[in-house]
Amino acid sequence: MPTNLQSPPKRDSKLATAWKTKSVEELTDEEVLAMPESEYMGDKQLAFFRHKLVELKRGIHMNADATTENLREDTVVVPDPADRATIEEEHALVLRTRDRERKLLKKIDQSISRIDAGDYGYCDETGEPIGVGRLLARPTATLSLEAQQRREMKQKMFGD
């Protein structure tokens, strides 16, 4: 008699073991996600996240250099006040973005320090694992999803 029950999704056996033979630079997010729980924040995962953070930091520095160069080149005198205002607004937007990236750089450095200290991947409030999925999405996360939701709820209720 056929049943309509779905079987649990099959784990890709290649993904589940690929991390064993690949270097940290070659690992994909999917392969890290497929790693067994026993490997959570083991040497390979910590090295993977360190590499991810260093690459993110390198990208931000490259963007900052490009922005500096572009702002220098864009200093043309425009006689039309409307055009000048548009250019100034674009510069302000770029500078706000760079300011956010500057703050992110601090978080990246803190995350690398947490890796060195052995605290990376664990919630600051509860000490529980943050989870690989969340860390892949936000490598600088210091709170588990539940702790972050509680913090946001408190901020919403009581203000900053």
User: Residue length, the chain?
Assistant: 160
What confidence score (pLDDT) does residue 6 get? 46
pLDDT of residue 21 exceeding 90, the answer is: no
User: pLDDT class for 63, splitting at 50, 70, 90?
Assistant: confident
| 84 or 2: which leads in pLDDT | 84
In this structure, what is the dihedral angle of CA atoms 143, 149, 154, 155, given to the nearest 10 degrees? 80
pLDDT in tens, 120-133: 999 999 999 999 99
| The residue to which tokens 């978080």 are assigned | 107
What confidence score (pLDDT) does residue 8 get? 42
Looking at the chain, list the stretches that DSSP marks H as alpha helix, in order from N- to C-terminal side.
Answer: 13-21, 29-33, 43-73, 81-117, 132-137, 145-158
* φ, ψ of residue 134 in degrees (nearest 5): -65, -40
User: pLDDT class for 15, splitting at 50, 70, 90?
Assistant: low
Our measurement of the distance from residue 96's CA atom to the centroid of its chain's CA atoms, rounded to an integer in Å, reads 19
